[in-house]
């Protein structure tokens, strides 16, 4: 009895919460069918509104946040959870980069406000932004949705007191290791060269180009990527839209680089 009580006390207190998102990242945690029960054994799961009825929002070792800040309620929840947690983990592309919901930044307000904000006036529209624009983020788990094995590996690392490793090489590395024919050569607008891998090039393996959901690599060559896409016949509007879909807010230099390259 004494022994199990000691182990219990060393388990990290963990919470999973969602702000504005589609819940796909949280489902990636739950759908770890083979290992979910093992995982629950490793942590003290204090809160997971998807699966638990009672969900305290105070005093966590690790808080995992899915989603981006899209209204004032999101911001209030995020700030409270940050204040009550030792480490905050941005879970998935919305939390990491803003992802597809942040594309609203590039759209005219009259194109979307009637869909929600005019119907629900209690919702205060704010600029849709990833969580690190508002609070300090300790760890990032990228992807839309993140790979479920990656989430498990991350949790096992923190339970063991290790700093989880980041995968910084571009998607192209895994893609070539997987023996895929390059989709750029086939005329598809693949963003693999500027996108951080770690997904085992899952889209390309299935014949679809990379849209950049895991965020840009640290040392990406954006100019070269734009030049290649132009050479393949894609116009600037297409290139800009494609790059903004998942990572627009992480490419504040995009317009400048495109214009500079237009007027060398």
Q: Is residue 206 helix, strand or coil?
A: coil
Q: Which is nearer to ligand SF4, 64 or 211 (CB)?
A: 211
Element (H, E) at 62: strand 60-66
Q: Which is nearer to ligand SF4, 69 or 204 (CB)?
A: 204
DSSP state of 193: G
DSSP per residue, 64-94: EEESBEEEHHHHHHHHHHHHTEEEEEEESHH
Q: 125 — phi, psi (to 5°)?
A: -65, 130
Q: For residue 259, what are the contacts with CB-CB under 8 A and spacing of at least 6?
A: none
Q: Which is nearer to ligand SF4, 152 or 203 (CB)?
A: 203
Q: Which is nearer to ligand SF4, 145 or 248 (CB)?
A: 145
Residue nearest to ligand SF4 (CB): 192
Q: Which two tokens stand for residue 184?
A: 């750029």
CB of 152 to ligand SF4, least distance (A): 17
Rounded to whole angstroms, how far apart are CA atoms 253 and 78?
27
CB of 220 to ligand SF4, least distance (A): 12
CB of 206 to ligand SF4, least distance (A): 9
Q: Which is nearer to ligand SF4, 25 or 151 (CB)?
A: 25
CB of 1 to ligand SF4, least distance (A): 41
CB of 166 to ligand SF4, least distance (A): 14
Rounded to whole angstroms, how far apart are CA atoms 144 and 245?
12
CB of 173 to ligand SF4, least distance (A): 8
Rounded to whole angstroms, how far apart are CA atoms 210 and 90?
21
CB of 201 to ligand SF4, least distance (A): 5
Q: Which is nearer to ligand SF4, 12 or 192 (CB)?
A: 192
Q: Which is nearer to ligand SF4, 45 or 190 (CB)?
A: 190
- Nearest Cα neighbor of 42 from 129, 133, 156 is 156
Strand partners, 18: 66
Q: Helix, strand, coil % (nearest 5) of the chain?
A: 45, 15, 40
Contact residues for ligand SF4, defined by CB under 6 A? 21-22, 24-25, 66-67, 92-94, 99-100, 143-145, 171-172, 175-176, 180, 182-184, 190, 192-193, 195, 199, 201-204, 210-214
């Amino acid at each position: 009895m004494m022994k199990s009580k000691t182990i219990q006390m060393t388990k990290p207190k963990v919470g999973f919460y969602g702000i504005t998102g589609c819940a796909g990242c949280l489902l990636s945690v739950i759908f770890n069918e083979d290992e979910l029960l093992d995982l629950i054994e490793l942590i003290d799961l204090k809160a997971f509104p998807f699966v638990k009825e009672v969900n305290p929002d105070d005093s966590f070792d690790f808080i995992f946040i899915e989603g981006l800040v899209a209204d004032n309620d999101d911001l209030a929840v995020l700030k409270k959870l940050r204040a009550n947690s030792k480490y905050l983990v941005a879970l998935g592309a919305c939390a990491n980069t803003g992802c597809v919901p942040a594309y609203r930044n590039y759209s005219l307000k009259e194109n979307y406000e009637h869909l929600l904000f005019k119907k629900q006036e209690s919702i205060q529209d704010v600029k849709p932004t990833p969580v690190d624009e508002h609070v300090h983020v300790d760890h990032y788990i990228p992807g839309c949705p993140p790979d479920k094995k990656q989430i498990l590996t991350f949790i096992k690392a923190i339970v063991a007191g290790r700093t989880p490793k980041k995968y910084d090489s571009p998607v192209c590395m895994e893609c070539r290791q997987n023996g895929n024919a390059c989709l750029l050569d086939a005329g598809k607008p693949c963003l693999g060269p500027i996108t951080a891998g770690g997904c085992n090039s899952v889209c390309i393996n299935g014949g679809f180009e990379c849209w950049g959901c895991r965020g840009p690599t640290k040392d990406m060559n954006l100019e070269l990527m734009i030049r290649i896409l132009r050479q393949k016949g894609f116009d600037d509007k297409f290139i800009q839209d494609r790059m903004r879909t998942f990572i627009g807010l992480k490419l504040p230099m995009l317009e400048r680089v495109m214009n500079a390259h237009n007027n060398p």
